[in-house]
Amino acid sequence: MGSIYRSEHMKLCQIFFQSESAYQCVAELGELGMAQFIDLNEEQNSYQRKFVNEVRRCEEMERKLNFVEEEITKDEVAIPDYDGHIPAPQPKHMGEMEANLEKLEEELLSINKNTKTLEDKSH
């Protein structure tokens, strides 16, 4: 365990993964929390990059989760802290997660619209 006053010693490494195992390897490194990733292809536009669709899917799910969190906190509902370990989801579960978040977002948007309509009618 490192000191809280000094940075850990770090080394810059370049790691190559086979496409089939890249997700699982990066997920494992991320869960260890001991790796920092540097984009060595900054000059490439997003269409030239591998895994761009997967990254966009994750960004969209993150946006939906942030929306859900905003809606929860807007109603002053406390979100309990979770100290447990949440493993990175398997790629095969991403579609199910996307569908659940899509449904939740649609329901919240519908609730917001109906609430606004009721408020407008009551005034």
b/e burial code for range 90-107 (CB count within 10 A of at least 16 → b) = eeeeeeeeeeebeeebee
pTM above 0.75, yes or no: no
Calculate mean pLDDT across residues 15-38.
Answer: 87
pLDDT digits (tens, 9 = 90+) for 70-114: 999 998 898 888 888 888 888 889 999 999 999 999 999 999 999
Calculate mean pLDDT across residues 53-59.
Answer: 88
Please tell me the predicted confidence (pLDDT) of residue 64: 97
Q: Which residue has the higher pLDDT, 24 or 4?
A: 24
b/e burial code for range 109-123 (CB count within 10 A of at least 16 → b) = eeeeeeeeeeeeeee
DSSP for 11-74, please give it: --------HHHHHHHHHHHHHHT------TTTTS-GGGSTTHHHHHHHHHHHHHHHHHHHHHHH
Whole-number mean pLDDT of the chain?
Answer: 87
The pair of structure tokens assigned to 78 is 């406390």
Please tell me the predicted confidence (pLDDT) of residue 9: 82
Residue 63 has pLDDT above 90, yes or no: yes
The distance from CA 23 to its chain's CA centroid, rounded to whole angstroms, is: 14
Please tell me the predicted confidence (pLDDT) of residue 73: 92
* Banded pLDDT at 60 (limits 50, 70, 90): very high
Judge contact between 64 and 101, C-beta under 8 A: yes
Local structure of 88: helix, strand or coil: coil
Calculate mean pLDDT across residues 33-58.
Answer: 81
